[in-house]
Chain A
């Protein structure tokens, strides 16, 4: 599904990613863990196409395509989804309007017919239920005045609606209380499918208690220092990142 080879990226003159190699097969969940400033968020941003970062070397093949050549919206059409660490406010634009525009933009490029207002409402209500979100939520402006937890739930709601093939979840657990963490985690679990891969970027192990990854990678100083199964996350929780960073 996704093959990252020797990926280097920088912001300005500052190298952030220094040779990332990662293979994600269809249906797998990979967790990227690491201390602050290790390049975790940069990795997901580069994969989603943010142009603040300059890729200086390496390549990323997604379903046989050179992912780095695609515009962010083309990546979305191809099934890539990024859940933002800091979801962005769009004043004056109702949440439901964005959701519907997003779903139909992606459907159009998948050759599916546009969802009519009624069909869309039915679908979105179903997903709201899963995320335990109130319908009033649809009529608020996108992320404006949302609490941290509401923003993250809204991201996962979007993921549920867009049904991506590759979901990049950037620090989706940050800012969540215990209940919200469980709801968001279950929302992600529901998306588990043999046809879908997930790259989960997180600082803490707690989300991984709910969403059990197939592989855990430790990113430090722009490189993957260590890879293992889900027990690696528990080890990190006990021992911290220090030992790994020194390695």
Chain B
């Protein structure tokens, strides 16, 4: 494949680059205590939550942004960002899809977001986040019957205050890191999921995040609690319209799995990656962590990361319960001038805890892709086991792949395995497939999808299909 052909990859226009014209209720840029009070007031929050935000803000002021990641960007001016934006409502908010602003529905349709009837019949409940406020929640009744709570976090604050109070920040403390602290101070909204004891959630839960207001940082906060013996599969998909200015996204996701509970968290991320020079892309600084608190509990993170100018993200598992299991399956694509520094942390605390890390990094154009992972085994995590596999695939000769595996084993009975490979999509592979009648683009897709297969097969079926399609779109124009 020639450099010219590769360059065509980066010339692809972002397919979802449009802006919906909806009047927004947006706070002016800037951050101080008054802004936090205003956010809290607008959301009608109880006093304790405001205090919690202010506490986080005070901690954030004493912290500095992390500089250890293999990414490069100019300093962010946090005073130039607006910290709250909500679509204007008519009356008390929609009771059904009919009441939702048609422009909004149209936006979702353009994105292919399945809010329509047929999709609901397919059994997907959708809690759609448009900018900072949840506007539509479907399938609530069915979930309600099962005893599952699935609602915007802002709603849960009122409907289930004791649960929110108990678990908010329980896995990721306010001062865990710079961006988690910022999120704790200004978080806008997100999803709250609570699966009671012994309940298997009757459907896949999905949320679609979007960033639509210019200059509006998004600070989603998601909390999922799976009680003893319960199961939930949660899907998260993201895409955003094209913008000239960098947009900051600093989300926090906390998962808690009690005894014998299982949480499967899947992400397909397709935010605007910026232009050829990385201008205008999303900065995606996310903190995701799950605690396997109970014995035999399990948390799986599966992700496909194709977007963002910068990705800084390490979905992690803290394996506390005996025999608990953590998994991380990831495909990260860095093209254009994208920078991805992503990986996971597996912290083994309980005996016989097991973790699996499968990371697939794809670099094209001038993309820089780094895997950064930590496997830590604390004393007492007897017979803990980890298997790590990091594979990098390079397309073209201006991109880069980097691997930073960290291992800290303090338990002599632990068994850790690490495998890493770096390969290029070879001209031989492309030529072979082309002589079999495939276009160069189809040939590339086949090679890349083969490379990602181990991860894609961990995604829920319909997401796997989307993931392959998204990968196809991302690599479109890379050849021919």
Residues of B contacting A48 in the complex (Cβ-Cβ under 8 angstroms): 435
Query: Are A98 and B434 in contact, CB atoms less than 8 angstroms apart?
Result: no
Q: What's the nearest-Cβ distance from chain B to residue A12, in Å? A: 15
Nearest Cβ on chain B to A182's Cβ, whole angstroms: 26
**Contact residues of B: prevailing secondary structure:** helix
- Residues of chain B contacted by A81 (CB below 8 angstroms): 435
B428–A98 CB distance below 8 A:
no
Cβ of B429 and Cβ of A90 under 8 Å apart? Answer: yes
B439 close to A73 (CB less than 8 A): yes
A93 and B434 CA atoms in complex are apart in Å by: 15
Asked if A76 contacts B450 (CB within 8 A), the reply is no
- Give the residues in chain A near B453, CB-CB below 8 Å: 92-93
* A57 interfacial contact with B, CB 8 Å: no
- By beta carbon, the residue of chain A nearest B426 is A88
Query: Knowing that A88-B428, A92-B453, A109-B437 are A-B contacts, what are 19 other residue pairs whose CB atoms are under 8 Å apart, sorted by A's residue number?
Result: A49-B431, A72-B435, A73-B434, A76-B436, A80-B435, A87-B432, A88-B426, A88-B431, A88-B432, A90-B446, A91-B450, A92-B449, A92-B454, A93-B447, A93-B450, A93-B453, A98-B433, A102-B436, A102-B437
Question: A139 to chain B: which residues have CB within 8 Å?
Answer: none
Q: Does A158 contact B (CB under 8 A)?
A: yes
A50 at the interface (CB under 8 A from B): yes
> Provided the pairs A92-B453, A92-B454, A105-B442 are in contact, do residues A98 and B436 lie with their beta carbons within 8 angstroms?
yes
Interface size class of B (residues with CB under 8 A): 20 to 34
Which residues in B have their C-beta under 8 angstroms from that of A141?
450
Q: What are the residues of chain A within 8 A of B442 when measuring CB–CB?
A: 101, 105
- Min distance, Cβ A175 to any Cβ of chain B, angstroms: 17
CB-nearest residue of chain B relative to A105? B437
How many A-B residue pairs lie within 8 Å, measured between CB atoms? 79
Smallest distance from the beta carbon of B411 to chain A beta carbons, Å? 34
Chain B residue, CB-CB nearest to A92: B450
- A82 & B435 in contact (Cβ 8 Å cutoff): yes
Contact (Cβ within 8 A) A77 B437 = yes
Return the contact of A84 from the options B427, B432, B434, B438 (Cβ within 8 A).
B432
Q: Tell me, yes or no, whether A233 is within 8 Å of chain B by CB.
A: no
A92-B451, A92-B453 given as contacts; is B429 within 8 A of A102 (CB)?
no
A237 → B minimal CB distance (Å):
30
Q: In the complex, what residues of A have CB within 8 A of residue B433's CB?
A: 90, 98
Instruction: Give chain B nearest CB distance to A246 CB in angstroms.
Output: 35
Q: In the bound complex, do residue B436 and residue A88 qualify as a contact, i.e. CB atoms below 8 Å apart?
A: no
Q: Which of A48, A72, A90, A98 has the most CB of B within 10 A?
A: A72
Does B440 reach chain A (CB closer than 8 Å)? Answer: yes
CA A88 – CA B429 in complex, angstroms?
A: 6
CA distance A114 to B270 in the complex (A): 32
Say if the beta carbon of B467 comes within 8 Å of chain A: no
- The answer to whether A162 has its CB under 8 Å from any CB of chain B is yes
Alpha-carbon distance A48/B447, docked complex (angstroms): 20
Q: Per-residue 0/1 for A126-167: is the Cβ within 8 Å of any B Cβ (1 yes, 0 no)?
A: 000000000000000110000000000000001000100000
Interface residues in chain A, defined as those with a beta carbon under 8 Å from any beta carbon in chain B: 48-52, 71-73, 75-77, 80-82, 84, 87-93, 97-98, 101-102, 105-106, 109, 141-142, 158, 162
Question: Which residue in chain B gives the minimum CB-CB distance to A89?
Answer: B429
Closest to B454 in A: A92
Give the top 8 A-B pairs by smallest Cβ distance, nearest first. Answer: A92-B450, A105-B437, A93-B450, A102-B436, A72-B434, A88-B432, A76-B437, A92-B453
- Contacts A73-B438, A101-B442 known; A93 to B449 CB distance under 8 Å? yes
User: What's the Cα separation between A129 and B362 when bound, in Å?
Assistant: 39
Min C-beta distance of B265 to chain A, whole Å: 24
| Docked CA distance A158–B437 (Å) | 11
CB-CB < 8 A to B193: which residues of A?
none
Q: How far is the CA of A144 from the CA of B403 in the complex (A)?
A: 25
Q: Report B-chain residues with C-beta under 8 Å of the C-beta of A109.
A: 437
A106 touches B437 (CB 8 A): yes
- A92 and B449 CA atoms in complex are apart in Å by 8
Q: Which residues of B contact A142 (CB under 8 A)?
A: 450
Known A162-B436, A162-B437; contact A50-B450, beta-carbon cutoff 8 A: no
| Cα A89 to Cα B439 with chains together (Å) | 18
Q: Which residues of B contact A88 (CB under 8 A)?
A: 426, 428-429, 431-432
Residues of A within 8 Å of B427, CB to CB, are 51-52
Question: Which residues of chain B come closer than 8 Å to A80, judged between CB atoms?
Answer: 435
Bound state CA distance, A181 and B126, in angstroms?
Answer: 59
Please judge, given known A-B contacts A88-B429, A92-B451, whether A101 and B438 are in contact too, CB under 8 Å: yes
B446 to A101, Cβ gap below 8 A?
Answer: yes
Residues of A within 8 A of B439 (CB): 73
Q: In the complex, what distance in Å separates the CA atom of A219 from the CA atom of B433?
A: 28
- What are 23 A-B pairs at a CB distance below 8 A? A48-B435, A51-B431, A71-B440, A72-B434, A73-B437, A76-B434, A76-B437, A77-B437, A84-B432, A84-B435, A88-B428, A88-B432, A91-B450, A92-B451, A93-B449, A93-B453, A98-B433, A98-B436, A98-B446, A101-B436, A101-B438, A102-B437, A142-B450
What chain B residues lie within 8 Å of A84 (beta carbons)? 432, 435
> How far does the Cβ of B106 sit from chain A's closest Cβ, in whole Å?
34
Question: What residue in chain B is nearest A107 (Cβ atoms)?
Answer: B437
* Residue B185 is within 8 A (CB to CB) of chain A in the complex: no
Task: Say if the beta carbon of B452 comes within 8 Å of chain A.
Answer: yes
Let me know if B435 and A75 touch, CB within 8 A. Answer: yes
Q: Given the complex of chains A and B, what is the CA–CA distance between A208 and B452 in angstroms?
A: 42
Nearest residue, chain B, Cβ from A76: B437
**Distance between A196 CB and nearest chain B CB, rounded to angstroms:** 17
Chain B neighbourhood of A50, CB < 8 A: 431
Specify which chain A residues have a CB less than 8 angstroms from the CB of B440 in the assembled complex: 71, 73
A158, B439: Cα distance in complex, Å: 17
Which chain B positions have C-beta within 8 A of A51?
Answer: 427, 431
Shortest CB-to-CB span from A146 to chain B, Å, is 13
Q: CB < 8 Å: which of A52, A87, A102 contacts B438?
A: A102
Residues from chain A with Cβ under 8 Å of B432 in the complex: 84, 87-88, 90
Distance of A155 from chain B, by nearest CB (Å) = 10
Alpha-carbon distance A50/B431, docked complex (angstroms): 7
Contact residues in A for B429 (Cβ distance below 8 Å):
88-90
- Rounded to whole Å, the gap between the CB of A231 and the closest CB of chain B is 33
Distance to closest chain A CB from B257 (angstroms): 30
Instruction: State the CA gap A91–B451 with chains docked (Å).
Output: 6
Minimal Cβ-Cβ distance residue in A for B480: A71
> How near does chain A come to B475, taking the closest CB pair, in angstroms?
15
Contacts of B437 in A (CB 8 A): 73, 76-77, 102, 105-106, 109, 162
Chain B 91-118 residues near chain A, CB threshold 8 A: none
- By the criterion CB–CB under 8 Å, are B435 and A105 in contact? no
